[in-house]
Chains A and B, each alone.
Chain A
Amino acid sequence: MKVTQSRMGMLGAGALLVLVLSACVGGPLEPSWGDLEVLDNNLALAFGTTILQLNPEDGSSVILIDADGNPRTDPETQQLRRWEVGVSGQQVRFYQTPIELNVETLLAASYDRKLFTIEREAARITDTVGIDLPGHVVADVLQTDDLIYVPLSEKDVLALNADDYSQRWRFETTRGVWAQPLLLDGVLYITSMDHFVYAVNAETGESIWQVDLGGAVASTPLLYENALYVGTFAREIVRLSLDGDITARYTTTDWIWGTPVIADNILYAADLVGNVYALELTGDDFTERWRKQVTTRAIRPSPVVVEDRLVVASRDNFVYWLNRNTGDTLVRQDVRGEVMAELLVLEPSETMELSQPMLFVHTMARDNLIFAFPADGNGEALWKYPR
Chain B
Amino acid sequence: MDFILNPFVTLLTFLYRVFGNDMVLSIAVFTVLIRLLTYPLTIQQQRSTRAMQQLQPELKKLQEKYKGEREKLAQEQMTLYRQYGINPFGGCLPLLIQLPIFLALYQAINMALAATPTQMLDTAGRLLIPGLDSVIPLNNLWLGMDLTQPPNLGVIGTSIESFIPIILIGLVVLTTYLQFRVTMPKPTPNADGKPDQAQQMSQSMGTIMPIMYGFFALSFSVGLAIYFIVSNTIGIVQGILVARSRAKLQPLPAVVTSTTTTSSKSGASGGASRSTPTRVKTTAKPGSNAARNNVKPAAKTSKAK
Contact = CB atoms under 8 A, between A and B. Distances in A.
A300 B125 CA distance: 13
A193 B137 contact: yes
Interface centre among B121, B201, B221 (most CB of A within 10 A): B121
Contacts of B118: 30-32, 340
Interface extent on A, as a size class?
A: 35 or more
Interface stretch (B85-93, B166-174, B207-215): B207-215
A92 interface: no
B204 interface: yes
Interface extent on B, as a size class?
A: 35 or more
B200 interface: yes
Contact of B117 (A7, A178, A273): A178
Interface in A323-341: 340
A315 B124 CA distance: 12
A25 B134 contact: no
Contacts of A300: 121
A17 interface: yes
Given A254-B125, A255-B133, A298-B121, A28 B216 contact: no
B80 interface: no
Main secondary structure of the interface of A (DSSP, over half): loop
Contacts of A32: 117-118
B204 A272 contact: no
B243 interface: no
Contacts of B219: 22, 27
A276 to B, nearest CB: 15
A386 B133 CA distance: 39
Interface stretch (A75-83, A210-218, A238-246, A284-292): A210-218
A7 B121 contact: no
A300 B120 CA distance: 11
A103 interface: no
Contacts of A193: 137
A28 B134 contact: no
Given A215-B133, A235-B133, A25 B201 contact: no
Given A11-B207, A18-B212, A298-B124, A3 B195 contact: yes
Contacts of A148: none
Contact of A218 (B117, B148, B204, B207): B117
B149 interface: yes
B106 interface: yes
A6 B121 contact: no
A315 B121 contact: yes
Contacts of A111: 116
Given A176-B137, A254-B125, 14 more contacts: A3-B195, A3-B197, A3-B200, A10-B208, A13-B208, A18-B216, A24-B103, A27-B220, A218-B120, A257-B124, A272-B124, A298-B124, A298-B125, A300-B121
11 contacts: A6-B200, A11-B207, A21-B216, A28-B149, A30-B118, A193-B137, A218-B117, A218-B120, A235-B133, A254-B125, A340-B118
Closest CB pairs A-B (n = 10): A272-B124, A14-B208, A7-B204, A30-B118, A10-B204, A3-B200, A273-B125, A6-B201, A193-B137, A14-B212
